[in-house]
Structure 1
Amino acid sequence: MEKANQITKSNMLVKGTLSQNDYSDKYYFDVAKKGNVKITLNNLNSVGITWTLYKEGDLNNYVLYATRNDGTELKGEKILEPGRYYLSVYTYDNQSGAYTVNVKGNLKNEVKEVEKDSIKEVENNNDFDKAMKVDSNSKIVGTLSNDDLKDIYSIDIQNPSDLNIVVENLDNIKMNWLLYSADDLSNYVYYANADGNKLSNTCKLNPGKYYLCVYQFENSGTGNYTVNLQNK
């Protein structure tokens, strides 16, 4: 599924062609919140085409497949949990044919717009020595997944400060954050207090370098988050 193409919004019409030499197409989309997702494939040339849907983390077992065949339309729908899903469209009779497919549901890009003054997390920032440097007054947008379990940011504090850290879990994955001092990377100095999808704390800090580690656990899938840092 590494070369899958993204379906970025609900009811986006995607066109494709399959043949004996190109017998499957892969797509992915992100469900932002629990709700009904409906997939409709229009088999334009009435050849042997169908589709199956998989959830990230278990690509061996499908969670949904086409259960209705209304002439040239292959449909299926189900209430899905938040996370990333992979759609496989494939032919089973070695004939060439074109199709269109669309997905309707609570897809990620339709639920929340990212603030324009935010900066985007840059990979690879998964270790302390590869931490992404940010200002102590910053807004950051990041993404975690089963293949990218943590993001680390370095913050320089010049004077004794109250650093307010608010991380918002946009896609309801299982995530948290910890703050470390560069003087001791084995023991955190602050952790988050959870309030719904917000993970926050006000940290009383002495001058020095600190590392904010944002991480997900239990392989809970792909999800976006924002970090709001305010140095008081």
Structure 2
Amino acid sequence: MTAASPTPTQRPRLALFDLDHTLLPLDSDYEWGEFTIRLGWCEREAFGRRNQAFFEAYQAGRLDVHDYVRFATEALRQRGRAAAEAAHAQFMQTVIAPAIRPAALALLARHRAQGDTVVLVTATNEFVTRPIARALGVEHLIAVELARDAEGWYSGEILGVPSMREGKVARLQQWLQARGLSLAQTESTFYSDSINDLPLLERVDHPVATNPDERLRAIARERHWPILDLFDETP
């Protein structure tokens, strides 16, 4: 009788998720800006007009993320840590929590049950997204990191490579390298709604166009990628 062949070592499994319009049916960065208007932190007409323009630039794939982060963090930087954190807690309660859908939680739970390492990879900054990641039960967050001033509060600048477009690939590679891995050594799935995430979708083993915009939906159909319309179900 011959011995059975050894089972090949299984690659670690990654389940990567974009956040806005992928796991949430909204843009958390944009909604945070709108929330600060309601708080009276920003002048409605001027801020709202610029916030909408930045949002449209992102959708078109031409956002200057450095300019946007300076704009998006200005109000919280002026208010200070305590006020900003209290406001974010209210934002989570009134805006984010009602937007967390059972279908999104079930998808995350399915990957965790399969033993996958779940990672949120978002172009939204860490101040906005870290509490959202906790609310979703996601331990690992790759977001736009914010530089800090001498007092330890946000300076308005980005620290390192912003996790946007090709930057998502670079930041994921850095995250994996810190764990002694490379993308090629893992079996990876990435869920995203946006054409901006095409660089990472093209690098993973299993791209999933999730609630995709028109351009990404067309590419997914052409390349026979799965399309998941996660929010078609009634919340």
Greater strand content:
1
Larger Rg: 1
**TM value normalised by structure 2:** 0.28
Greater helix content:
2
**TM value normalised by structure 1:** 0.28
